[in-house]
Structure 1
Amino acid sequence: MEESRGAFVLAIAWTFTGIAVVIVALRFYTKIRVSRNLAWDDYVVLLSMAAGIGAAILVSISVPLGLGRHTDQVLAEPGGQQRVVKAARIQMIGYPFNILAFTLPNVAIAILVHRLLDPQLWRKRLLWGLATFQVIFAIIPCIIIFAQCSPTGKLWNPALPGRCWHWAILNNITYFLTAYTAMTDVALAGLPIAAFWNLQMQASTKFKLSLMMGLTLLSAIITIVKATYLYLFTDRDDPLWNVIPLVVWGLVEQNVVVIAACVPPVRPLFSRNKRHDSPTHVATHCGELGFKLPSIHQGSSRQLGPNYDSACDAHLDDDIISTRLRDDAASSSSKEAIYTGPSGLDV
């Protein structure tokens, strides 16, 4: 009986893509109808989701051509050679879609973290540096993949006359991008978590905040797992079959990172504040993500006590979390105050 992984690939592609689409839709519903605060990071996530859908569509087109089957079995069928070439071409076209799908959400997360932390100059430069280089390092392999062969068609049809760079060049660049993306995932989780744990607030609140903002750590783990299969992208022994683990982990990665970028902004939709039943009311008065956080503010004389309570976080289990966090004077002042301005606005 002939082996085929095509159905498995399609199930993974559209299950994870479907979940991501729903989460992105909830994000936009929340930002438009509840928080009423669309920002640049929302459009970056939308672009990433579009790229992810494009990647899933291209994988779906490749399966009837033979993706997920042994290459020699496809070649033995009438028109098999043409189908193998078409599948290889679609695979190459899908490469930049996947790259954009799993790198752009980090840019959106960097924008969100910048808005939440209202960082010092060094932190601002770090966040924008991470985001800028994430984009640059994503664009480079997208260009190289189509520039490495002359003519370009030789990339998916080795029988054509011409020349190609050594396959290790693209592989090494992709390894570098993957390593940088994993590092960025960790940094984008670590920065807000470190700031939250320095605040004088209940440990349970810190844990909830850290869990919500630390989902990019899961993305980092998946990125590292996918990296172990990157060498399969240039496999020549059985390309339609051997590449499947890389395709599957690529599909999982691109959707998980989108979901991780959307969880914090979606949180206000599920708020049930005991003092304000309307999520819109809470989001409007408690900031973009709903959490009102104590923060360190230089020159303040008000000390945050252990019984700190507010309309936004007195019932944290049923409430939503976030406003901009100021800790720019942490090193120079031990006095703390409550920052009540809504996230995204200067006061």
Structure 2
Amino acid sequence: MYLGRDVSVLESRAPTVKGVMWVMSIVPLIFVLMRLYVRFYLRRVFGWDDAIAIVAIACLIAYAAVCHVAADLGLGQHLVVVQQHPENLMQVALLCNIGESLAIMACTLGKTSFAVTLLRIVVQRWMVVVLWFVIVTMNVVNILTALFVFLQCKDPRHLWNPMIPSECWPSDVFTNFSLFVGAYSGAQDFILALLPWTIVWNLQMKKKEKIGVAFAMSLGIFAGAASIVKTTYLVALSAKADFTWELAPLLIWAAVEDGLAITAASIPALKPLLVKVFPSSAPDSYNMIKYPPLPGRKVFDNSQGETQTDIGHTTVHDSSSQAEIVGPGSPKCESINLTTEVSVTYKHGL
């Protein structure tokens, strides 16, 4: 049937599409389930960041399912092959549009979940402002992108059935906007990955624990790297000659970015599970580095371990925002302490 034609038309990216989609959905699903186990059963708490993570993983699984069906119908094959079944071609185009919107929302919600987690930790006003700016702008531009997938034409049906006439945007308009959103999304990944280092490095913790906690909270940098690669494939959005073939790498890298973003957002919540499963491998605590008492200073212990006071140096148990790094309800050995310098002047003989 294909004698005399380039044998490349027989190539198919469909198996790769299916494999990557499901791997990048199942792995973050496992991490989200572990996160929920920690939050529900070990910590007895549930926050907005957890709810957002659930919606994000649901969007990602739906994205994988849609792309799997599209791959069965011709996604990942050359257009010359898929055109032999015109009804399949229209379904592939429709499913790809739906998949693009689902991928955008999964990515946005995954990063939003992590940003909301950071909001419970940060104490400096400028960090709060930065996080809210990231959350608002990220959701606005990505929701617009998800809508523009279907709003490029007055009659959206033209997108998957060219036989239906409709006025549409020039193909490069949506592509250029998507390039901007892809670059902006990658920049947000790096911002969210760097903020934990600023937060954790100012805490009174052992240096190796600082590095471990900060690294666990900044794994979103890998999602940023995937976003950069994905952005290089965004030109495929305007490819019409062989779109069933050209779109496959873009959709694959979108799944990689989504999966890494959701996984990175869930990892910081898993420390209590690590302590439960591998008690000997976890750090002893997140307590401050102990300072030796200075000569000539009296030391008072008035709270059986939670508050140690000496004249001029006070350590107060902090159950506020910084304690969110280990989660509410953490045992005393996992607390984070706030150190306050106190100067006291007194006269002898009074």
Shorter-chain TM-score bucket reads 0.7 to 0.9
What's the counterpart of residue 177 of structure 1?
Answer: 181
2:310 counterpart of 1:305: no
SS in 1 for 2:163: coil
Q: Once structures 1 and 2 are overlaid, which stretch shifts more, 3-12 or 42-51?
A: 3-12
Residue identity in the other structure for 2:137: F
Q: Runs of 5+ in structure 2 lacking a partner?
A: 1-6, 294-311, 329-337, 339-350
1:52-131 mapped onto 2 (5 Å cutoff): 52-75=60-83, 77=84, 80-117=85-122, 119-131=123-135
Larger Rg: 2
8 Å contact kept, 1:155–1:164 = no
What's the counterpart of residue 42 of structure 2?
Answer: 34
Whole-angstrom CA distance in 2 between matches of 1:339 and 1:231: 53
Whole-angstrom CA distance in 2 between matches of 1:304 and 1:207: 18
Of all paired residues, the percent bearing the same amino acid is 28
Whole-angstrom CA distance in 2 between matches of 1:68 and 1:10: 10
What's the counterpart of residue 314 of structure 1?
Answer: none
CA RMSD of aligned residues (A): 2.8
2:247 counterpart of 1:261: no
SS in 1 for 2:121: helix
Residue identity in the other structure for 1:37: V
SS in 1 for 2:75: coil
1:1-347 mapped onto 2 (5 Å cutoff): 2-75=10-83, 77=84, 80-117=85-122, 119-272=123-276, 292-294=286-288, 305=291, 337-341=315-319, 342-343=323-324
The offset of 1:306, in angstroms, is: 7.5
Whole-angstrom CA distance in 1 between matches of 2:206 and 2:228: 33
1:244-269 Cα shifts (integer Å, max 9, x gaps): 11111111111111000010112211
Q: Once structures 1 and 2 are overlaid, which stretch shifts more, 336-345 or 161-170?
A: 336-345
The offset of 1:169, in angstroms, is: 1.8
Q: 1:304–1:184: structure 2 CA closer, same or farther, 3 Å change rule?
A: farther
1:125-155 Cα shifts (integer Å, max 9, x gaps): 2211211111111111122221111211111
1:7-33 Cα shifts (integer Å, max 9, x gaps): 111111111211111111111111101
Q: TM-score, normalised by structure 1?
A: 0.79
Whole-angstrom CA distance in 2 between matches of 1:205 and 1:340: 18
Whole-angstrom CA distance in 1 between matches of 2:143 and 2:41: 34
Q: Once structures 1 and 2 are overlaid, which stretch shifts more, 142-151 or 252-261?
A: 142-151
1:90-112 Cα shifts (integer Å, max 9, x gaps): 11111110001111111111111
8 Å contact kept, 1:226–1:246 = yes
What's the counterpart of residue 333 of structure 2?
Answer: none
SS in 1 for 2:109: helix
Whole-angstrom CA distance in 2 between matches of 1:259 and 1:270: 16
Q: 1:272–1:22: structure 2 CA closer, same or farther, 3 Å change rule?
A: closer
The offset of 1:43, in angstroms, is: 0.5
The offset of 1:337, in angstroms, is: 3.7
Whole-angstrom CA distance in 2 between matches of 1:194 and 1:36: 28
The offset of 1:67, in angstroms, is: 0.7
SS in 2 for 1:150: coil
SS in 2 for 1:104: helix
The offset of 1:86, in angstroms, is: 1.1
Residue identity in the other structure for 2:291: G
Whole-angstrom CA distance in 2 between matches of 1:336 and 1:243: 60
8 Å contact kept, 1:102–1:257 = yes
SS in 1 for 2:80: helix
The offset of 1:200, in angstroms, is: 4.3
Q: Once structures 1 and 2 are overlaid, which stretch shifts more, 198-207 or 263-272?
A: 198-207
Whole-angstrom CA distance in 2 between matches of 1:335 and 1:227: 52
The offset of 1:335, in angstroms, is: 7.3
Q: 1:23–1:238: structure 2 CA closer, same or farther, 3 Å change rule?
A: same
8 Å contact kept, 1:189–1:214 = yes
Whole-angstrom CA distance in 2 between matches of 1:166 and 1:242: 19
The offset of 1:239, in angstroms, is: 0.8
What's the counterpart of residue 322 of structure 1?
Answer: none
Q: 1:335–1:113: structure 2 CA closer, same or farther, 3 Å change rule?
A: farther
Whole-angstrom CA distance in 1 between matches of 2:215 and 2:247: 33
